[in-house]
Structure 1
């Protein structure tokens, strides 16, 4: 009888161990995701579902992450924000600094308003002038990335480049393409083990009307445009995670 009781106790202990190990294996990873940026990261232009812009790239990225992870997310994106505005927000706000220090994933989408300011102030197409304009935006973005890295050098930083919403017939088409050509070459220099540069420029070329609201004089993506941005973000993250 005692021998049978011992066997039963052993079986119960082994069962408990196996259940615990299985539970641990199936438990999702806990991730903290912080989104930084302007109206693009805020999802302006995406359709709303129950007052939420679920087709935007941040919600779609979170939905993807939550398939296999327990995700906590905060979106600190402000429509109209410039690179200098974001840099000031980060360096002067202790609360966001603490959040970034504890983040696993940080996305940065900034520079669009600086880009618009540069092309709208251009009176003529001058290649040397636009190289300087691209350099100015790049230096501001580089300062942001370097500061975020100084707070957290373990997080995956997903850095968005810029796209042009201006098609062949638009007055800003040539100007915008010149700036973006140089800008993305510069932006690639920020790519590192932890910083992943995402270039959305090419997918929008020739599809500006299809992917944005530019026909309504609105440069933001529509749902189809945001879907492209979300897929680029997911692909970039999965490539990093699969290393």
Structure 2
């Protein structure tokens, strides 16, 4: 009798172990079921001709000074080139990535003022979030000095030049003195552009553009001493801007677009060097062309098709192996029981 109880206990132990293994396998599958599949995310890069986000910096030219609707507290409601492009790109990118424009230019800024603004950290967030950064700087380093000269030579507040009673000897002396002041300003501008390019390029991954400065003083054709002087000095300023482009920014040659058109595109006839509405349209087209020659991208995250995770693949492989092992165990157990029953009947 003890012999049969022992045999029964052994058979029970075998089936118990098999049942435990099956339960463990089922539990593992159930616990892993929520980790069996996933919907992968992938980044998709989209190419566009214009920037989804752009930032305008620098001086009064970029700010839109003198235009209808311009305010020192609001740059966004005048027909400046920044606003022309903002409206154009908002429509062009609608339903895609959208478009944003920020204008942080400040009327009256010199290159040193711009350096101080960059180093203050106040532009860091805007720079880091921009695809394109457009800078107009240098005019106040140079033109304020030159306008003072022309007023001393007899240019009235309406922009007219009166040569009556002009002392050419005094004018030549004044030019000689002014020449040294302007050359000193250009030397400083050269140094400042080196700093500016480093400061701005270290703060953004977007494409940076610097505009050249047009020559509004070419308007005074009746006084070649003035036009020759301004042409030389503004030409040197633009050469400085172009020479520093090797640091990593692109140049938009606004000066070339304005050449010979000072009366048509600026307010110089009223002794105002700033572009008029037509001038801003010309700058807008030059900037737009530069953008489209560069090209931009934006990235979206999209969902893929459902797939097995690494855990899911491991569970399936493990479950298959477990199922095979369980089948072998059951077969072996049945064989043992059959042999024992056969032996008992004998």
TM-score for the superposition, normalised by structure 2: 0.55
Q: What's the counterpart of residue 287 of structure 2?
A: 233
Structure 1 gap ranges (5+): 1-23
* In the alignment, structure 1 residue 179 sits paired with structure 2 residue 269: no
Q: What's the counterpart of residue 114 of structure 2?
A: 86
Superposition RMSD in Å: 3.3
Number of residues of Structure 1 aligned to a counterpart in Structure 2? 219
Deviations 1:58-102 (A, max 9, x none): 11122233212512222111111111111101102x332122122
Q: 1:164 to 1:120 in 2, by over 3 A?
A: same
Q: Which moved more, 1:83-92 or 1:131-140?
A: 131-140
SS in 2 for 1:151: coil
SS in 2 for 1:220: coil
Cα distance in 2 for partners of 1:60, 1:150 equals: 28
Q: Which moved more, 1:69-78 or 1:105-114?
A: 69-78
Contact 1:135 1:186 (8 Å CA) reproduced: no
- Structure having the higher Rg: 2
* In the alignment, structure 1 residue 146 sits paired with structure 2 residue 170: no
Deviations 1:180-228 (A, max 9, x none): 2222222212335951111211222221111111111111111111111
Cα distance in 1 for partners of 2:190, 2:122 equals: 26
Q: 1:161 to 1:137 in 2, by over 3 A?
A: same
Summarize the alignment of residues 180-219 of structure 1 with structure 2, pairs less than 5 Å apart: 180-192=234-246, 194-219=248-273
Cα distance in 2 for partners of 1:127, 1:214 equals: 20
Contact 1:159 1:198 (8 Å CA) reproduced: yes
Structure 2 gap ranges (5+): 1-44, 150-173, 298-346
Q: What's the counterpart of residue 274 of structure 2?
A: 220
Q: What's the counterpart of residue 5 of structure 1?
A: none
Q: What's the counterpart of residue 63 of structure 2?
A: 42
Q: What's the counterpart of residue 14 of structure 1?
A: none
